[in-house]
Amino acid sequence: MRIELNGQTVITAAASLAALLDEQGFDSASVATARDGRFVAKPMRAATALCEGAKVEVLSPMQGG
């Protein structure tokens, strides 16, 4: 299916947000996630289904000041 990941179109076979993170090589322990503009907590990622056209954001923390 075709989704939008961090503003880029991606073709994925992942059925859930957790599977997408694994497929795309993200460190799931150290990122924040959202699907279609709504925050998805780490325990809910496996139960968060993806569908055609979903918009997913994966954010990593940054240090700075």
Q: What is the pLDDT of residues 2-60, one digit of tens each?
A: 999 999 999 999 999 999 999 999 999 999 999 999 999 999 999 999 999 999 999 98
Q: pTM of the full predicted structure?
A: 0.91
Give the model's pLDDT for residue 61. 80
Task: Tell me if 40 sits within 8 A of 33, measured CB to CB.
Answer: yes
pLDDT band at 62 (very low <50, low <70, confident <90, very high): confident
Q: For the chain, which domains are there?
A: 2-59 (3.10.20.30)
Q: How many residues does the chain have?
A: 65
* pLDDT reading at 63 higher than 90: no
Secondary structure (DSSP) of the chain: -EEEETTEEEE---SBHHHHHHHHT--GGG-EEEETTEEE-GGGTTT-B--TT-EEEEE------
